[in-house]
Amino acid sequence: MTVTAPQPAAWPADRGLLPSEPLALLAADGEPTSCRELELPGLDVLTALHRSMVIGRRLDAQATALTRQGRLAVYPSSRGQEACQVGAVHAMREQDWLFPTYRDTVAVVTRGVDPVEALTLLRGDWHCGYDPYRHRVAPQCTPLATGSLHAVGLARAAAIKGEDTVAVTFLGDGATSEGDAHEALNFAGVWNAPVVFFVQNNGYAISVPLAKQTAAPSLAHKGIGYGVASMLIDGNDPAVVYAAARTAISAAASGAGPTLIEALTYRIEAHTNADDAARYRGEDEVRAWLARDPITRLDRYLRAAGALDDRRSAEISAAAERAAAGLRDRMATRPEPDPAELFRHVYARPTAALAAQHAQLEAGLGARHPERP
Amino acid sequence: MTSTPAGTANRPQAPAAAPVTMAAALNRALADALAADDRVVVFGEDVGTLGGVFRITDGLAARFGEDRVFDTPLAEAGIVGTAIGMAMNGLRPLVEMQFDAFAYPAFEQITSHLAKMRNRTRGRIELPVVVRIPYGGGIGGVEHHSDSSEAYFTHTAGLRVVTPGTPADAYTLLRQAIDCPDPVIFLEPKRRYWSREESALSTDGPPADTAVVRRPGRDVTLISYGGTVATALEAAATGADAGWDIEVIDLRSLSPFDDATVTASVRRTGRAVVIHEASGFCGYGAEAAARISEQCFHYLEAPVLRVTGFDIPYPPPLLEEHHLPTTERILRAVQRLQWNDNA
């Protein structure tokens, strides 16, 4: 698609007003909207988004199943948020960096990270299982919003070095209450840093609904106070997510500075497999959001456009099943992490004290209780 | 990136012609590091145009440009957090926290990310970041300007924590910290900023993770660091008049702890006093005393004593003299070590 510059209609000159309705390119029924601020991506892009979303959702379901089999300690599901995670990642260029949170496993695997490596954190054999430099994906961040500052720093360094790199940092609605989110927006604004803040507003911070999180008219408004261009979009519309992220990345890369994108979406599953969502939200609410499903929406559009049929759909489903089976098989055995690794990466070279503690641990492995001399 | 002025890279360090203050030595270390390595960037609150509230970064922005030495918004988590991202992208950030207690907003970034990123990523992400923190009391600072925060950082694995006791060592340690592949908390004893020493500043010196014996002695080991090194040396000099031959160790590196140097000293003297300004309870001296007990038990003639700040919030300026370790308190501790002239 043609990358368009930020549209004045979406970002008024005074940046003081935001449309109250989120931008959408595809309505919930898959019909194109009359939105003029952003351009509907071509069928090649939308087809790719569709495939990634179907595979991402299947892997997500497999990960949830793995918690029930005891193969994962815990899993925060991305289900329902595929448009956000897939759309934003597809909009990124090879040289850009992704700063994901713990809920963004679908984004991480869409970026190219091996699902087993992505799930290492949640399986528990190490903290981050993948090489962040390989696909330019920072470790999934468990503390909220702290990674946004890393994204701003990385982007600023790129600008200092004259590199064409944009950092895309993911946040949830709850994370926008954290001080680090505000410091990151402020630093990004002051430095005009090439950063995109992508906020997946899924309505809940574990159990706390948005109304208890903020009194702001929208989370996008939080960018305005920091001089950061901000937009509000339908986060269950993969087309608008892609177009908005592409526009923001293009703007950042061209020196126009950071953008905050608030994408309205919904967490279909509980916070994690260990959470009980029935304690704080009703089934009717979930059903209403299921009717706004991002995959169904794109499926309808692609079929109407003649870019998807039953045969093609079955082929994608089969690919998703193969991916899930591969994940299941590779996660079937319990990993045996090496205790020696506990000491290996704390410093560039282990200190004398760590070397001694390592020797102590090795000596104790499999040893019997000492007896009184 | 903004280039270094031609011809200044790898400029040899001229021997100091006159006694140099610790502040000037630190300034020189920063300038030399900026000149030697294009990846070094210096930033923080007021470090640009003003040159820092203690003038440690004086003249650096003018000399190296705004892309390499710059002011930031007033937000410490932001400063350390963005330094982490810059280091991920190949720079070597050197950031300043304006005062000890004003570094606390950055605590999460320091302990949860700066300290852990290497381990989290199995060594793939290296964060050669130096966080400079002016710390400690003795300058008549009002509340929140005199904390000794070392124990918060030494308790965190993955950080190196160093603190210089002399101007020459301030230069050496800071250059070593900048070259270190691990994150370093660089604690600057602000009451010694204006202390002077005749020295040719040099990167050659003891390794950054080792302690040094500042004054040899046979009777007792004083273990000091940062602002208390000068106090300990003063106590040793005064004690000499009373017939005590006191050894003074300057730890330099608080994490890791140089067990070899400390143990060798205490095994010789059989007596040890640990001195610091921070409160004693769960303070750094507790770790030092425990290590000495574990490694020197049969060599000790007396329990390891601590001379520290009281277990109180840092006092207001007109009362701080009662809180800080003094030569008198140190010598009283030496006396309490059940002295036996015939031993």
* In a domain? residue A66: yes
pLDDT at B335 > cutoff 50: yes
**Domain match, A369 and A311 both:** no
Same structural domain, A346 and A215: no
Q: Which residues of B touch A131 (CB under 8 A)?
A: 121, 124
Nearest CA in chain A to B180: A348
| A11 — pLDDT class (breaks 50, 70, 90) | very low
Annotated catalytic residue within A57, A246, A267, A292 = A267
Tell whether B341 is covered by a domain: no
| DSSP string across B220-278 | EEEEE-TTHHHHHHHHHHHHHHTT--EEEEE--EEETT-HHHHHHHHHHHS-EEEEEEE
Catalytic residue among A79, A280, A281, A303: A280
The alpha-carbon gap from B157 to the nearest alpha carbon of chain A, in Å, equals: 7
Under an 8 A CB cutoff, do A153 and B105 touch? no
Q: Tell me: the pLDDT tens digits for B85-135? A: 999 999 999 999 999 999 999 999 999 999 999 999 999 999 999 999 999
**Domain identity same for A205 and A299:** yes
Q: Which of B167, B197, B227 is the last residue of a domain?
A: B197
Please give the residue of chain A at the shortest CA–CA distance from B75: A183
Strand, coil or helix: what is A43?
A: helix
B141-200 per-position pLDDT tens digit: 999 999 999 999 999 999 999 999 999 999 999 999 999 999 999 999 999 999 999 988
**Same domain as A357, residue A307:** no
Contacts of A121 in chain B (CB under 8 A): none
Q: B278-294, pLDDT tens digit by residue?
A: 999 999 999 999 999 99
Structure confidence at residue B195 (pLDDT): 96
Length of chain A: 373
Backbone φ, ψ for residue B173 (5° rounding)? -65, -40
Q: Report pLDDT digits (tens) over B43-87.
A: 999 999 999 999 999 999 999 999 999 999 999 999 999 999 999
**Residue A360 to chain B, least CA–CA distance (Å):** 15
Q: What is the pLDDT of residue A15?
A: 44
- Looking at the structure, do residues A198 and A116 belong to the same domain, yes or no? yes
Contact yes or no for A183 and B73 at CB 8 A: yes
Structural domain boundaries, residue B78: 20-197
Amino acid A355 reads A
d(CA A288, CA A290): 6
A310 and A352, same domain (yes or no): no
The pLDDT of A167-194, averaged and rounded, is: 98
Distance from CA of B190 to the nearest CA of A (A): 28
A260 and A362 housed in the same domain? no
Tally of structural domains, chain A: 2
Q: What is the pLDDT averaged over residues A296-313?
A: 98
Whether chain B has a CB inside 8 Å of the CB on A179: the answer is yes
Q: What is the pLDDT of residues A230-248, one digit of tens each?
A: 999 999 999 999 999 999 9
Mean pLDDT for all residues in chain B: 94
**Contact assignment for B1 to A162 by CB distance below 8 Å:** yes
Cβ neighbours of residue A278 under 8 Å, at least 6 residues apart? Answer: none
Residue A58 one-letter amino acid: R
Question: Under 8 Å CB-to-CB from B40, ≥6 apart: which residues?
Answer: B33, B34, B68, B91, B92, B93, B94, B178
Let me know how many helices (H) and strands (E) chain A has, helices first.
15, 7
Residue B50 shares a structural domain with residue B179: yes
**B52 and B183 share a domain?**
yes
Mean pLDDT of A234-263: 98
Measured in angstroms, the CA of B206 and the nearest CA of chain A are apart by 16
Q: How confident is the model at residue A19 (pLDDT cuts 50, 70, 90)?
A: confident
Q: CB distance from A5 to chain B under 8 Å?
A: no
**pLDDT for residue B7 is more than 70:** no
> What is the predicted pLDDT for the residue at A5?
38
Phi, psi (deg, nearest 5) at residue B225: -160, 155
Residue of B113, B144, B145, B323 marked active site = B145
CB contact under 8 Å between A132 and B88, yes or no, is yes
Average pLDDT over residues A67-90: 96
Where does the pLDDT of residue B342 fall: very low under 50, low under 70, confident under 90, or very high at 90 and above? low
- Examine the residue annotation and report whether A271 is marked as an active-site residue of this protein: yes
| pLDDT value of position B15 | 52
DSSP assignment of A222-242 equals HHHTTT-EEEEEETT-HHHHH
Q: Answer yes or no: is B296 within a domain.
A: yes
Q: Does residue A22 sit within a domain? A: no
The yes-or-no verdict on residue A8 having pLDDT over 90 is no
Mutate to test the interface with B, among A102, A113, A125, A154 (most CBs of B within 10 A): A154
Tell me which residue in A154, A183, A352 faces B86 most closely, judged by beta carbons. A154
- Position A4 pLDDT exceeds 70: no
CB of A8 less than 8 A from some CB of B: no
Work out the average pLDDT over B248-256. 98
Question: Looking at the structure, do residues A355 and A248 belong to the same domain, yes or no?
Answer: no
Q: What pLDDT does A370 receive?
A: 83
Q: What is the CATH number of the domain that holds A122?
A: 3.40.50.970
C-beta atoms of B182 and A143 within 8 A: no
Q: What is the pLDDT of residue A13?
A: 43
- Show the DSSP H helices in chain A as ranges: 43-68, 82-91, 105-110, 115-118, 120-123, 132-135, 146-161, 179-191, 221-224, 238-253, 283-290, 294-304, 310-330, 341-344, 352-364
Are A213 and A86 in a shared domain?
yes
- Run of H or E residues at B213: strand B212-215
DSSP state, B16? P
Whole-structure pTM value: 0.94
Same domain, B256 and B332: yes
For B107, the token pair is 């605590």
Query: To 5 degrees, how large is the angle CA A267–CA A273–CA A275?
Result: 75
Q: Are B144 and B80 members of one domain?
A: yes
Q: What is the ipTM of this complex?
A: 0.94
Report the pLDDT averaged over residues A188-210.
97
The domain tally of chain B equals 2
CATH number at residue B279: 3.40.50.920
Structural domain including A360 reads 338-373
pLDDT tens-place string over residues B257-269: 999 999 999 999 9
Q: Is B204 domain-assigned?
A: no
